[in-house]
Chains A and B, each alone.
Chain A
Amino acid sequence: MAQAVTPQASSPARPREVPWWAQPLATVVALGVFSLYALWEALTHTSGRYHNYLSPFFSPDVHSWGVRVLPALWVLWVPLLFRATCYYYRKAYYRSFFWDPPACAMPDAKPNYRGETRFPLVINNLHRYFLLLSFVVLAFLWKDAVDAFFFRSGFGVGLGSIIMLVNVVLLTVYSLSCHALRHLVGGRLNCFSCSRGAMVRYSLWKRITEWNERHAMWAWMSLFSVWITDLYIRLLISGAIHDPRFIR
């Protein structure tokens, strides 16, 4: 027989399937370690080239254009601002680093909250421009990926060629699944059926919407692919490993 029992304290335990801190902690560790690695790479190296392989940290190859001082920094500001203003990464860092909030229905860390209404976070509204700049970098990365299949002896396929190709494909899908691009190609229209051009934009919008549903996954996969590509080329440059060649 059910019965009322003694009243308990008003502050309940919060049992959940996964501890609330697991996701913010994982994000802090992943982004934190990547940022430290990127700083180390950018501040301590002047080139990321190994024969026909070029690290994405150093592409476009401003070093060969005569830039001798910290060439990676001339490149990295574009992907840095593109990712920092990305709608997915905003969710990730607001939750993990700012604790605004750390998890759903968990209290915010700070009493004063202004969202994205003031400088500097209002700059996030310019995400579309960093997207357009990232397409310029992406064009260079595609050139690098093609170059990675052409060795001194001619066409060939090395492990580095495959890594660089996978990297640029992931970066392309990440860029094409962007919320701002989704808006630019068709999201800003109210009437898709009003003209033939609008229907073309509707088709593009539908396709980008499909990719956009996995934007977070592409964001992480492309981040790790950049990391792996650079680390692989750095290890080749240092002589720690050799590049296995599948087709000579």
Chain B
Amino acid sequence: MKDTITLSVFRGDHTGGEERSYDVPVTEGMVVLDAVHYIQQHLAPDLAVRWNCKAARCGSCSAEINGRPRLMCKTRLDVLGEGVIHVRPMKSFPVIRDLVTDVSWNYRVARQIPGFTPAHPAPFVMHQVDVERSQEFRKCIECFLCQNVCHVLRDHDLKSRYVGPRFMIKIAELEMHPMDTVDRIDFTQKDAGVGYCNVTKCCQEVCPEHIHITDNAIIPMKERVADEKYDPVRMLVRAIRGR
């Protein structure tokens, strides 16, 4: 590893901007966020960056490092090779300034999802076999890297039609909950837009919590929607039974 490394960091806002290069001294075990902090402390005090825990727990420091969505606090410099390291804000969301993006659309989506509605108030007695699927989804730290890499949101900006992978796991978590009573299948198809996902698994590839977003949440939800909306035999049986 070289003694210094060059970071090319996006500087600008929603009206535009450009990358600027900074030389940063390298220390053992340094991560991209450390380098960005060095720039902020020594070279560009006005550099805007969102961060909090520096431990891959808070999901604040999401960015695009050499074109790949990653957490800056979890990306070591020594895995990025010897060349210039490009650091840019998440592409799917409007830039507020430099590396900080406006992710408030996600919180508006979260409010639209029908909430947990148990048959009776807590406390519940639940078995581990019934909650282990939901527990995987609860590892989500809301870094929104999956939302950023999802091509439906990233390239086509279909935010009005598809809620994105983060909220597909939220819906799956609620749908698979043994105590929940709400039917979200119609919502999943029409409002959440599960049909827009073409299961190319990029969300799963970038998830820092290694949640199997596509395999364990989106595909099971597609199958549940297929049960209700596309399976002709099940639709016929329901019609005969009158429900």
Contact = CB atoms under 8 A, between A and B. Distances in A.
A15 B83 contact: yes
B97 interface: no
A188 B20 CA distance: 51
Interface residues of A, number: 52
Contacts of A80: none
Contacts of A192: 127, 129-130
A110 to B, nearest CB: 9
Interface string B144-157: 00000101101110
Contacts of B67: 12, 14-16, 105
Contacts of A94: 198-200
Interface string A95-135: 10000110011011001011111000110011110000000
B202 interface: yes
Interface stretch (B53-61, B103-111, B176-184): B176-184
A7 interface: yes
A90 B129 CA distance: 30
B231 A128 contact: yes
A90 B202 contact: no
Contact of A2 (B38, B156, B197, B223): B38
B224 interface: yes
A2 B25 contact: yes
B219 A4 contact: no
Nearest to A13: B86
B205 A104 contact: yes
A104 B206 contact: yes
Interface in B1-30: 4, 6, 8, 10-11, 17-25
A183 B223 contact: yes
Contacts of A2: 4, 22-25, 38, 42-43
A212 B178 CA distance: 23
A105 B154 contact: yes
Contacts of B156: 108, 111, 113
A187 interface: yes
B155 A15 contact: no
Contacts of A212: 215
Contacts of A6: 21
Nearest to B64: A105
A44 interface: no
A122 to B, nearest CB: 7
B43 A16 contact: no
B224 A188 contact: yes
Interface string B64-88: 1011110000000000010110101
B109 to A, nearest CB: 17
A100 B23 contact: no
Interface string B210-236: 000001000110111111011100000
A190 interface: yes
Contact of A10 (B18, B129, B180, B200): B18
A198 to B, nearest CB: 9
B195 interface: yes
B129 A8 contact: no
Given A5-B21, A10-B19, A117-B193, 7 more contacts: A90-B198, A105-B64, A115-B152, A183-B220, A190-B130, A192-B129, A213-B215
15 contacts: A2-B22, A2-B24, A7-B18, A8-B18, A8-B21, A10-B18, A12-B66, A13-B86, A16-B66, A100-B200, A101-B200, A105-B69, A122-B230, A192-B129, A193-B130
The 5 nearest A-B residue pairs measured at CB: A12-B86, A115-B196, A104-B202, A183-B223, A117-B195
Interface of B: 4, 6, 8, 10-11, 17-25, 38, 42-44, 64, 66-69, 81, 83-84, 86, 88, 91, 127, 129-130, 149, 151-152, 154-156, 158, 162, 175-178, 180, 193, 195-202, 205-206, 215, 219-220, 222-227, 229-231
